[in-house]
Amino acid sequence: MTTLRDGELLRAIVARWGDGVGVERSASSDALVIDARRSVLPGVAHWLASDRQMRFATALAVSEHDRLKVHYAFCGIEAPGWVELVSTPDAGAPHASLRSVLPAAYWEERRISEETGTRFEGHSDREALPASAEPGSFTMPVGPVYSGSAESALFLLETWGENVVRAVPRLFYKQRRLERLAEGRPVRDALLLAERCNGRSAFAHAWGFARAAERIFEIDVPERARMLRTYLAELERYRAHVAVIREICESTGLAVATSRAAILEEELLRLSGELCGHRYLFGLIDVGGLTRDFDDARLIATVERLQEIHGGLRSLGAALRFEGSFFDRLENIGVISPEDVREYDLVGPVARASGSGEDLRLLRPYGGYRRLALRAASEDQGDGAARMRVLFRECASSLRLVRQVVPGLRAGPVCVPIVPRTGSALASIEAPRGAAFHWLECDERGAVVRYRLAAPSFRNWLGFHLGMERFSFQDFPITLATLGLSVAESDC
């Protein structure tokens, strides 16, 4: 299999950028490292993202010989491996920012500057609210502690009464610094931190972390574990989507629909609890496979129960479709255009509701997805209603995937022992809320040296304002619910 380290990309870079870049294959990982001069850095980044169709994953500050360098990671869509674009500042000068060519890099750079004190060109010390263009308007804070049992986050609503000009999120009250806490811990313990990045997509993030570690240790995960992971991940996606559907019903004040969705959600939680002990699938993933095996008959019974629950979800969906007062509140609210999705590199159901067909299960298949039939659920309208349709369609496709896994299961081990080794790896996973990137570096004892979890919510909150312009007050909770963003996942 050709990887990004192989000749073609390397030659293309040298041919195009010549003396402006130094290119080498990394000694400790699958990466192709491009050291770019400041003058060509934004150009190379733009070229990788647009001409070469690579996805910007995340950025990391690396200290080399007392100098802080910023590594921007780009994933190839076709070939495995990744590209690290390295930016080295001139002595005493601030780092160049990629914000203008790659808006998604902005929060990654801000995170680096807050952690290390590094300065980036064009970033102000403290992000001030843009001066209001609307005479007579004022800013109304919502949060950080608000509503019944909402996550802690602050929203600044610029308004003059009934209408809101825009809403600006102020996050990171929940920052637990789990990436820092992971440093020095053995990979198996650090995995527990990744799992608790977001409880509602715990399995996906634990799997992403495990994939990164398995890549470093060069572990071939047993076939049975790969298929079971796929099965459990789809069970989780189904439940995570139903939870968002429940929140959407709740935000519109439709009590019976909220109750019916809550019944489905609790039944799914009980289904998980019955199958594997934990209602949120904690403690199942291990580096090298799974911590336990499952009885095939139990897996089949679970699929049958899921099928029953899906009958309930379909009837809820049908009832909502004919409820004009419900759909009127979802249509044309929080519209995000396909152009905005591309520019801000938005991910997951939010992007797929705005015409994007991107789904890492298809683009960079992992686990059992290579062998399973799957189509990306895509809608064009980009409004709240489209986002809800995507959730319903993805629930149906998760059920189909879970059904496909069981007949192909062969008996065999579900975990292999690990032999630690030094190295680094970048792994990607399609979590329920979208693409997540796990960048992990280990030492020879198998302890974490560096860890970065670029979660889908972190990416999508950056685009939050795109759907939050010029709306009326009562649409705020509805738009917020249809975006389905997690604060915990972003503030990890």
Partner 1 sequence: MSEWVLQGLREGVKSTRYPKRAETAAGVSPGLPSDTSCDDPQRARSIAGLCPTDALLASDRTVTVDRGRCIDCYRCARATPAAMRWDLGYEWGSPTDEGLQDSSRRLGSAFGRSLHVRVVDGGDCSACLSEVAQLTGPYYSLHRLGFFITPTPREADALIVVGPVTPAMRPLLRATYDAMPAPKRVIAVGACAISGGIFRSTRDEQEGALGVIPVDVVVPGCPPPPLAIIHALLVTVERAPARAVAQ
Between 40 and 79, how does the x/- string for binding to partner 1 read (CB under 8 A)? ----------------------------------------
Nearest CA among 162, 149, 484 for reference residue 336: 484
Q: Does 144 bind partner 1 (CB under 8 A)?
A: yes
Nearer to partner 1, 277 or 357 (CB): 277
Name which position in 35, 121, 266, 343 contacts partner 1 (CB under 8 A): 266
Question: What is the nearest approach in angstroms of partner 1 to the Cβ of residue 269?
Answer: 7
Nearer to partner 1, 12 or 318 (CB): 318
Rounded Cα distance between 373 and 371, Å, is 7
Per-residue tokens: 464: 């939050």
Q: DSSP class of residue 125? A: S
Nearer to partner 1, 8 or 189 (CB): 189
Name which position in 18, 124, 147, 304 contacts partner 1 (CB under 8 A): 147
Name which position in 12, 77, 256, 362 contacts partner 1 (CB under 8 A): 256
Q: At what angle do helices 223-251 and 475-483 cross, to 10 degrees?
A: 170
Q: Does 173 bind partner 1 (CB under 8 A)?
A: yes
- Starting at the edge strand found earlier in the chain, the sheet holding 469-472 runs 138-142, 154-159, 163-170, 469-472
Q: List beta partners, residue 31.
A: 82
Rounded Cα distance between 455 and 58, Å, is 9
Q: Does 304 bind partner 1 (CB under 8 A)?
A: no
Name which position in 15, 128, 131, 145 contacts partner 1 (CB under 8 A): 145
Q: Does 150 bind partner 1 (CB under 8 A)?
A: yes
Question: Which residues, numbered 377-416, are part of the site for partner 1 (CB under 8 A)?
Answer: none
Q: Does 490 bind partner 1 (CB under 8 A)?
A: no
Q: Does 152 bind partner 1 (CB under 8 A)?
A: yes
Nearer to partner 1, 151 or 379 (CB): 151
Name which position in 257, 335, 440, 466 contacts partner 1 (CB under 8 A): 257
Rounded Cα distance between 90 and 119, Å, is 12
Question: What is the nearest approach in angstroms of partner 1 to the Cβ of residue 442?
Answer: 17
Rounded Cα distance between 153 and 462, Å, is 14
Nearest CA among 161, 210, 155 for reference residue 187: 210
Q: Does 259 bind partner 1 (CB under 8 A)?
A: yes
Nearest CA among 51, 50, 55, 44 for reference residue 21: 44
Which among 2-10, 62-70, 280-288, 329-337 is the span making contact with partner 1, rule CB under 8 A? 280-288
Q: Does 14 bind partner 1 (CB under 8 A)?
A: no
Q: DSSP class of residue 149? A: T
Q: Does 126 bind partner 1 (CB under 8 A)?
A: no
DSSP annotation string for 301-368: HHHHHHHHHHHHHHHHHHHHHT-HHHHHHHTTSS---HHHHHHTT--HHHHHTTT----HHHHS--TT
Name the H helices within 252-295: 255-276
Q: Cβ of 419: how many Cβ atoms within 10 Å?
A: 10
Question: Which residues, numbered 194-253, are part of the site for partner 1 (CB under 8 A)?
Answer: 196-200, 202, 243
Question: Which residues, numbered 310-349, are part of the site for partner 1 (CB under 8 A)?
Answer: 315, 319, 322-323
Q: DSSP class of residue 95? A: B
Instruction: Give the residues lining the site for partner 1 (CB under 8 A).
Output: 144-152, 172-176, 178, 181, 189, 192-193, 196-200, 202, 243, 254, 256-257, 259-260, 262-263, 265-266, 269-275, 277-280, 282-283, 291-292, 315, 319, 322-323, 486-489, 491
